[in-house]
């Protein structure tokens, strides 16, 4: 008879793995794709099975506690435009609560690692052109924002101006400017 051995506390990893992080990051995208592929009846059946499993695992009190945490309940007699706005407010509030809970549970190092792994997964999936396209769409840049390439180009221009300037004082000013843009 083959018995499964339970993991001890020392064997359970404290930090999430790359696979776990990637699956959490991409979970929403998979849900949209699944919703496009399958019929609504199938999706309802799947969600009811999931709800039954959670009910079996945690009991009724879990759902009662969740409902008590809610602040915004959608009204069904409102206009579709108002209802959409209410839904976005509700989702924002619930997301904020979830984000606050996550910040309480995890350290800043976890968040940095998750962000790094998410960026690596995006780059692996879409390539570097994806990030270039995003930067092209950006409307606002922080004050003083400059890319490494721009700094290097300006430094080269300043050094060239320092070489060709007619007086020593102006050449020194250009060298000072070039020093500020060290990569």
pTM, full prediction: 0.30
In the predicted model, what is the mean pLDDT of residues 119-129? Answer: 85
Taking every pair of C-alpha atoms in the chain, what is the biggest distance, in angstroms?
A: 91
Length of the chain: 183
25 in Cβ contact with 121 (< 8 Å): yes
Q: Cα 30 to chain center, whole Å?
A: 16
pLDDT digits (tens, 9 = 90+) for 55-83: 788 888 877 887 777 766 655 556 666 66
Identify the pLDDT of residue 87: 73
**Residue with token string 């250009």:** 174
In the predicted model, what is the mean pLDDT of residues 165-183? Answer: 82
Considering only 71-75, 100-104, 166-170, which range has the smallest mean pLDDT? 71-75
Q: What angle do CA 110, 115, 116 make, to 5 degrees?
A: 100
182 in Cβ contact with 154 (< 8 Å): no
In the DSSP assignment, the letter for residue 16 is P
Kindly list the distances between the CA atom of residue 25 and the CA atoms of 55, 159, 173, 174, in Å, as whole numbers in the listed order.
Answer: 25, 45, 49, 47
Q: Which two tokens stand for residue 9?
A: 């506390």
Q: What angle do CA 104, 87, 68 make, to 5 degrees?
A: 50
């Amino acid at each position: 008879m083959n018995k499964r051995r339970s993991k001890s506390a020392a064997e359970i990893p404290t930090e999430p793995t790359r696979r776990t992080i990637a699956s959490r990051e991409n979970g929403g995208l998979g849900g949209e794709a699944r919703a496009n592929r399958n019929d609504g009846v199938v999706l309802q059946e799947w969600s009811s099975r999931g709800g039954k499993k959670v009910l079996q695992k945690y009991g009724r009190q879990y759902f009662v506690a969740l409902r008590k945490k809610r602040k915004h309940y959608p009204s069904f007699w409102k206009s579709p435009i108002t209802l959409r706005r209410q839904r976005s407010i509700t989702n924002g509030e619930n997301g904020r609560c979830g984000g606050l809970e996550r910040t309480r549970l995890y350290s800043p190092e976890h968040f940095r690692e998750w962000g790094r792994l998410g960026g690596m997964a995006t780059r692996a999936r879409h390539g570097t052109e994806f990030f270039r396209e995003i930067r092209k769409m950006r409307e606002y840049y922080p004050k003083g924002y400059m890319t490494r390439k721009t700094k290097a180009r300006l430094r080269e221009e300043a050094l060239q101006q320092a070489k060709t300037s007619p007086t020593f004082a102006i050449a020194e000013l250009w060298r000072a400017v070039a020093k500020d843009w060290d990569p």
